[in-house]
Structure 1
Amino acid sequence: MGVGPTIRHVAWLVAMRSSILAPPAAPTTTPGAFLTWGARLQWRTLVGGLVFGVIWMTAIALVPWAIGRGLDAGVVHDDPGALLRWALILTGLSVLVGGGGAARHWFAVENWLSGAFRTIVVADEAITTRGQEIGRQLPTGDVVSIASNDMEKIGGVYDVTARFSGAIVSYVVVAVLLLRQSVVTGLVVLIGSPVLLALLSLIIKPLQARQAAQREEAGRLTTLGTDTVAGLRILRGIGGEREFVGRYAAQSQRVRRAGVRVAGYQAALDASQTLLPGLFVVLVVWIGARSVIAGELTPGELVAFYGYATFMSFPLRTVTEMVDKFIRFRVAAGKVQGLLRIESDHPARPAGAPVPVDGDVVDPESGARMPSGRLTGIVSTRPEESAALAARLGRVGVESAVTLGGIPLADMPIDHVRAHVLVNDPDSRLFHGTVREQLSAGRTVPDAHLVEAVDAAWARDVLLAQAAGLDGIVEEKGRGFSGGQRQRLGLARALAIDPPVLVLIEPTSAVDAHTEARIGASLAQERRGRTTVVATVSPLLLTHTDHVVLLVDGVAVAEGRHADLVREHAAYRSIVLRGGDDE
């Protein structure tokens, strides 16, 4: 059953946001444990769906019984009063079918939304807390598929539970009615249904294996597409588009072939769900007709038996659907649990020591020291060395021996590190939303402070270009801005956050020299008295620093003021002046 969110269901999810947005830790052992965990968190709606599912399907099961009894009492025995009575009973059952079905569907949609949305929440929490280890251990396509496909399959199991419970109860009700009227015919119906289900299971097991294989191939295709789009500009520059298009086409064919292998078994399952119950109904009607001729059944009981046999295909298909959805759930839940099992590359440490708000920042690995409250420049013979130092300063994706105020960052809880040290790289990511949302980063910040940060980053032209100012809309990834505008907005965001320690990696690499010089001056003024580290080789920025550290092969070999190092250190002069005059 395809279920989609409606406005009322979205409103219901908003009302439930406190429990859904902060669920307890999900189990990572087995898909069954994951299913039980989710069921405990939404047991109220599951019970509601179960109750109305039972009412709905039991009422459907009793319709043939009411028709058969009314036919015998009102038509065969020519009793108008009995006919009216059974007509009213049939009307009541119809009301239960309609009302119970509507309520059952309501709970089914709620259960689907809760299960699917909770999957996104736990996956998002894992992605945002595991750091770069996620990218190292999982293809991008697998991560994307969790939010685009797997969450639907997980929600689908909770959706079908209402009909599944109704199918089981209605099966028992029909069994009692059948055995009371004819033991032989009843046994044919009751035994035949499980036999049909067993036959279908022969198709279900290989279907599961092929669905898992298709999921893997689709994940690889998504990863390849994501990587290709991310590097499209470079590919065009080196003429590699044709090569990657060929790879994408080849992987698409592998996904298609995997889909065809799934489709064959899926078609066999769907066809069997119609063919086998149809043959079963023919068998029951033939046996029932012979019983009527032999005087063992009344015409009304034969009609009821036909209705029962026809109805039994309904719970049979529901049970088959439950099995099919559980198979899909197992594959999807396994992928989600694989994501959850990844350990963070920056695990939290117990908060044993106080967290400093100031103090020198020292990196024992390189020997670099960044004085507290000063603007320090990091100059390196190779950009990757200064970038690696910046990663250690923020404990971003690496274990770090860096100390802040004499306390190792490795001994601090990661949330405290994130609150005290901000690393801003040159490729600042912008998201869809207003300019205010980009700059405030989810916090409540006065507009005056945001404008101040924009001015310090010399990004006022970006703000003026927006007719609505801070309420202007930023497109996803900042597509409407130039590289320099995106970089300056990213710098403005970092300044607006105003962390105790700010680490900037080449913050002016995409701007012109005139703007770069102005940013250097305003950065020194804006961050006065707070620890700031700038990894750069630009003399226009280094001129405004209080202290500079020179790295050679990743090791600090000199430190001092920019002017002194230019005059006294040949390696520094060569890097910073890029072969220019030694003046």
Structure 2
Amino acid sequence: MKASVLHPPAPPTSTPRDFLLWGARLQWRTLAGGLVFGVAWMTSLALVPWAIGRGLDAGIVADDRQALLRWALILVALSAVIGITGAIRHWFAVQNWLDGAFRTIVVTDEAVTSRGQEIARQIPVGDVVSVSSTDMERIGGVYDTFARFCGAIVSYVVVAVLLLRQSVTTGLVVLIGAPVLLGLLSLIIKPLQRRQAQQREESGRLTTLGTDTVAGLRILRGIGGEAEFVGRYAAQSQHVRAAGVRVAGFQAALDASQTLLPGLFVVIVVWTGARSVLSGELSVGELVAFYGYATFMVFPLRTVTEMVEKSIRFRVAAGKVMSILRIQSDHPAGKADQVVDPSADLSDPASGARIPGGRLTAVVSARPEDSAELAGRLGRLGTESTVALCEIPLAELPIRQVRDLVLVNDPDSRLFSGTLREELSTGQAIDDDRLLKALDDAWARDVLLALPDGLDGHVEEKGRGFSGGQRQRLGLARALAADPHVLVLIEPTSAVDAHTEARIGASLAQSRRGRTTVVATVSPLLLQHTDHVVLLESGRAIASGRHAHLVRDNAAYRHIVLRGGDSE
């Protein structure tokens, strides 16, 4: 695929018009190709009535067989041109649609992945989902219709010129009537645009509500809140339905107008042409040609109204895309890459914790959210980070450099659809031996053995075919395979049995030897394999040292760990 589609430059976020022109510049070659063949295709269609009329007058009315054969051959040639240019125009139309739609997905995905949690704080999840599922089609649709729209304009001019040469009155009817029709359609277009925007808003809220409900379904069942959320979803569905009904009225009026108004236009043109024949201004062949012109004119007029309709949908969709693109990242780029020692100590002034470099450190807290917040600061996730590495604040490093240095793995690591090899390597060039070792260190070899094709075995979306413990161990294996300089694990064994947990603790200490590793846990089966432990209370570090020493000398630590051990 072209670089302008896979890696497009930053789009403008000022107006939908600027966004449209930005995309047009990036795919101007296919747009130009579609324009050339679209104009050739529709102009050839417009010339068919002209050729038929001339053939009737010169061949049949004048009883000239040679003229009849000549015009018949011209019709055959026009038919061949129509077939060839129509097929090529359609190819360009599909290519333009795909480029415009996929580029929208690319820039939206880049914005979502680079803006961090700021996206979720400012825009409902449903709006983000709708961009990839609906809005990208509407944006691609404008580029798809562009070639036919240009062909419609040119063919309209060609027909008008032919009509004016044969009958000034009928030609003026065509030239004046078409803009009048478009003016009548504009009375419907403006309110339709407003109602489509309202429906898009309500649909986005419904998608957000459904996404939140599904994500918290287990919790809802636990507290018996399904009925409440079903009621909310039903109420929002009614809002979407009502908005859809409001759109449907104007949409039906527009669709009906696309048939009714061009039809009336045809009647007027034919009536005018018939009067011209009776007055002797037109011949029989020219009357037949006029009827063909009038019938043909329905096609470009419908194409113009289709372009107007898709432009409305484009404005609404582009507005949603640009609202995402306007959000500033909560991870500013910062300074250029700096030279840091990844094996140096990590310090967090917010909690007073110090993580020794090159060692396996555990973070223990009676409140799991305190440990998770410290882990988030260590990886510069979501909130402002005060953590420093090698005495250099992470906030002053480019986020890309931070991501290269630190990897944070939570207990609910998401699995995606694909092969097990793709799942573990995450797009990196990691050899099979390293992947297998990561599976062994995470004690997830049973997952590999359960797949008939091994590393090439298929993983279903979200790992539905695996148990909770298997999914958690695969997430851990993926983190170990990445082999980051600093690995932060949040409750990596919360879903596995005690026997497997003890084995994972021993493997983790061995496989990460010499690398900085932080584990947020209260499990003594993991703590016994650590080199260093930091105890948090109310988010502040109140003690640190070896696990065995803290168990013996610190009552608060002993209470947390023994209670955690009893609950395993």
Asked if Structure 1 and Structure 2 have the same fold, meaning a TM-score greater than 0.5 normalized by the shorter chain, the answer is: yes
Instruction: Write the mapping of 1:278-357 to structure 2, written as runs, cut at 5 A.
Output: 278-351=263-336, 353-357=338-342
Partner of 1:420: 405
Instruction: Write the mapping of 1:442-461 to structure 2, written as runs, cut at 5 A.
Output: 442-461=427-446
Deviations 1:314-361 (A, max 9, x none): 111111111100110011111111111111111211216323322000
Is contact 2:153–2:300 with CA below 8 Å preserved after alignment? yes
C-alpha distance in 2 between matches for 1:283 and 1:456: 81
Asked if 1:377 corresponds to 2:362, the answer is: yes
Aligned amino acid, residue 325 of structure 2: L
C-alpha distance in 1 between matches for 2:496 and 2:564: 21
C-alpha distance in 2 between matches for 1:441 and 1:195: 58
C-alpha distance in 1 between matches for 2:218 and 2:351: 35
C-alpha distance in 2 between matches for 1:319 and 1:579: 70
Asked if 1:146 corresponds to 2:138, the answer is: no
Asked if 1:238 corresponds to 2:223, the answer is: yes
Asked if 1:395 corresponds to 2:380, the answer is: yes
Asked if 1:45 corresponds to 2:30, the answer is: yes
Per the alignment, in what secondary structure is the counterpart of residue 578 of structure 1?
helix
Partner of 1:108: 93
**Which one of the candidate residues 31, 40, 61 is aligned to 2:46?**
61
C-alpha distance in 2 between matches for 1:469 and 1:93: 59
Partner of 1:536: 521
Partner of 1:519: 504
Per the alignment, in what secondary structure is the counterpart of residue 93 of structure 1?
helix
Structure 1 residue 439: Cα displacement: 1.5
Structure 1 residue 33: Cα displacement: 0.8
Structure 1 residue 363: Cα displacement: 0.5
Gaps of 5+ in 1: 1-13
Cα distance 1:580–1:238, how it changes in 2: closer, same or farther (>3 A)? closer
Aligned identity (percent) is 78
Deviations 1:431-469 (A, max 9, x none): 111222221121121212111111111122222222222
Per the alignment, in what secondary structure is the counterpart of residue 358 of structure 2?
coil
Cα distance 1:50–1:86, how it changes in 2: closer, same or farther (>3 A)? same
Instruction: Write the mapping of 1:173-252 to structure 2, written as runs, cut at 5 A.
Output: 173-252=158-237
**Which one of the candidate residues 538, 546, 568 is aligned to 1:561?**
546
Is contact 2:116–2:329 with CA below 8 Å preserved after alignment? yes
Gaps of 5+ in 2: none
Partner of 2:84: 99
**Which one of the candidate residues 385, 400, 419 is aligned to 1:434?**
419
Structure 1 residue 19: Cα displacement: 3.0
Is contact 2:41–2:82 with CA below 8 Å preserved after alignment? yes
Structure 1 residue 579: Cα displacement: 8.6
Structure 1 residue 145: Cα displacement: 0.7
Deviations 1:114-142 (A, max 9, x none): 11111111111111111111111111111
Asked if 1:578 corresponds to 2:563, the answer is: yes
C-alpha distance in 2 between matches for 1:458 and 1:265: 61
Is contact 2:487–2:516 with CA below 8 Å preserved after alignment? yes
Is contact 1:346–1:398 with CA below 8 Å preserved after alignment? no
Is contact 1:362–1:369 with CA below 8 Å preserved after alignment? yes
Asked if 1:480 corresponds to 2:432, the answer is: no
Partner of 1:162: 147
C-alpha distance in 2 between matches for 1:468 and 1:97: 51
Deviations 1:538-575 (A, max 9, x none): 11111111111111111111111111111111111111
Is contact 1:346–1:414 with CA below 8 Å preserved after alignment? yes
C-alpha distance in 2 between matches for 1:473 and 1:281: 59
Per the alignment, in what secondary structure is the counterpart of residue 227 of structure 2?
helix
Cα distance 1:164–1:78, how it changes in 2: closer, same or farther (>3 A)? same
Q: In terms of mean alpha carbon deviation, does 295-304 or 371-380 score higher? A: 295-304
Structure 1 residue 212: Cα displacement: 0.9
Structure 1 residue 580: Cα displacement: 8.3
Per the alignment, in what secondary structure is the counterpart of residue 336 of structure 2?
coil
Partner of 2:102: 117
Is contact 1:355–1:412 with CA below 8 Å preserved after alignment? no
Q: In terms of mean alpha carbon deviation, does 393-402 or 277-286 score higher? A: 277-286
**Which one of the candidate residues 50, 53, 64 is aligned to 1:79?**
64
Per the alignment, in what secondary structure is the counterpart of residue 364 of structure 2?
strand
C-alpha distance in 2 between matches for 1:379 and 1:480: 33
Is contact 1:375–1:546 with CA below 8 Å preserved after alignment? yes
Structure 1 residue 381: Cα displacement: 2.5
Per the alignment, in what secondary structure is the counterpart of residue 252 of structure 1?
helix
Deviations 1:222-250 (A, max 9, x none): 11111111111222222222222222222
Is contact 1:353–1:411 with CA below 8 Å preserved after alignment? no
C-alpha distance in 2 between matches for 1:281 and 1:453: 73
Question: TM-score, with normalisation over the residues of structure 1?
Answer: 0.95
Aligned pairs, how many? 566
Per the alignment, in what secondary structure is the counterpart of residue 542 of structure 2?
strand
Q: In terms of mean alpha carbon deviation, does 347-356 or 44-53 score higher? A: 347-356
